Amino acid sequence: MTWHFDSHIHLSDPAYASDMKFISKQMECLKIKACCVSTNYENSLQTLELGKNSELILPFIGIHPEFANDDLENMVNLIEDNHGSISGIGEIGLDPTYESECECGDVARQNHVFETFLSLAEKLNKPVSIHSRKSLDDVLQIMTSYNPNRALLHWFDGSKKQLQKAMDMGFFVSYGPVTIYANDKQTLLSKTDESKILVETDGPVRFSRCFEMKSGQVSFIPSVIFCASKILDKSFDEMASLLEINSKSFLGI
């Protein structure tokens, strides 16, 4: 039996709170497991609770660059205390968009938080889910000092040259619902090493076109798999099987 994996979704976001029973049933019926990423300390506590309630939810905890001023010491302790219960560390990374905002701090703080989590992931042998919006070159440079073999550049949005560098370094990259209607994402996917492709929704991000600005749902994953199968000239089952292998490789399971 093939399992589908949503490699990056924020199920602990308040947008999903009232629907979690329904979402859990969807995941069970559609055979989907979800890497539930976090943004800060409080959100990570909620993610851990979701993971306790469902074996289909794979908890990732960490500090998103938007919240780089969060209590890093408490977050590190939370990860170390729960390392046996978490599937990975994330969402972590860099994003200059937030540097001037009070929640984030400056670039030096973002770098420090990011590298602290990378070191912790290596120590605990955990995969990482990385945010790299407008900072991909900086992320790639920092990662030369760490092991990228179980690192995911989620919602990959770089150039073909950056994609090739990511492939050469051994990163996983993920593609989401926007791939269904965005030609540039389809081109990037077609040039990605097949063993490094993952799929995601990044919900509750909203998607236009055929999704009518609905928040990302785990139920979108089969559509993303179908799209990828057409781009790579595979059957749906072949694509789903490949993605299951890739997802398990990323997660180390």
Residue 159 near residue 115 (C-beta atoms within 8 A): no
Distance separating alpha carbons of residues 42 and 226, to the nearest angstrom: 36
CB atoms closer than 10 angstroms to residue 27? 21
Q: What is the pLDDT of residue 100?
A: 64
Confidence band (pLDDT; 50, 70, 90) for 101?
A: low
Q: Which of these, 95, 162, 74, 80, lies nearest to 126 by C-alpha position? A: 80
Specify the pLDDT at position 225: 98
Residue 167, sorted as left (phi over 0), alpha (psi -120 to 50) or beta, turns out to be alpha
**Tens digit of pLDDT for each residue in 215-234?**
999 999 999 999 999 999 99
User: How much of the chain, in percent, has pLDDT values that exceed 70?
Assistant: 98
The strand pair at 128-131 and 88-93 is best described as parallel
Mean pLDDT of all residues in 37-45? 98
Residue 11 binned pLDDT confidence (cut-offs 50, 70, 90): very high
Q: What pLDDT does 98 receive?
A: 85
Q: Which residue has the tokens 């979701």?
A: 50
Q: How far apart are alpha carbons 104 and 142 in whole angstroms?
A: 19
Q: Where are the alpha helices (DSSP H) in the chain?
A: 20-30, 41-53, 72-81, 107-124, 136-143, 160-169, 183-190, 221-231, 236-251
Cα-trace Rg, the chain? 17
Q: Give the residue from 130, 61, 113 showing the smallest Cα distance to 89.
A: 61
Cα angle: 37, vertex 196, 144; to 5 degrees? 80
β-bridge partners, 8:
none
The pLDDT tens digits of the residues spanning 133-182 come to 999 999 999 999 998 889 999 999 999 999 999 999 999 999 999 999 99
**Using CA atoms, how far apart are residues 61 and 166, in angstroms rounded to an integer?**
23
Contacts of 56 (CB under 8 A, 6+ apart): 24, 27, 28, 32, 33, 34
Q: Please check the confidence at residue 81 and state whether its pLDDT lies above 80.
A: yes
Whether pLDDT at 104 is above 70: no
Instruction: Say if residue 102's pLDDT is above 70.
Output: no
Pick the range with the lowest mean pLDDT from 21-25, 95-99, 108-112, 184-188: 95-99
Q: Which whole number is the average pLDDT over 229-242?
A: 98
Q: Are strands 214-215 and 128-131 parallel, antiparallel or unpaired?
A: unpaired
pLDDT in tens, 49-75: 999 999 999 999 999 999 999 999 999
Residue 99: pLDDT band by 50, 70, 90 thresholds?
confident
User: What pLDDT sits at residue 5?
Assistant: 98
The pLDDT of 173-201, averaged and rounded, is 98
What domains are there in the chain, each with its CATH number? 4-251 (3.20.20.140)
CB 109 within 8 A of CB 234: no
pTM higher than the cut 0.85 = yes
Is residue 14 very low, low, confident or very high in pLDDT (cuts 50, 70, 90)?
A: very high
Above 90 in pLDDT, residue 103?
Answer: no
Please write the tens of the pLDDT for every residue from 106-128.
Answer: 889 999 999 999 999 999 999 99
Contacts for 239 with CB less than 8 Å, ≥ 6 apart: 225, 226, 228, 229, 232
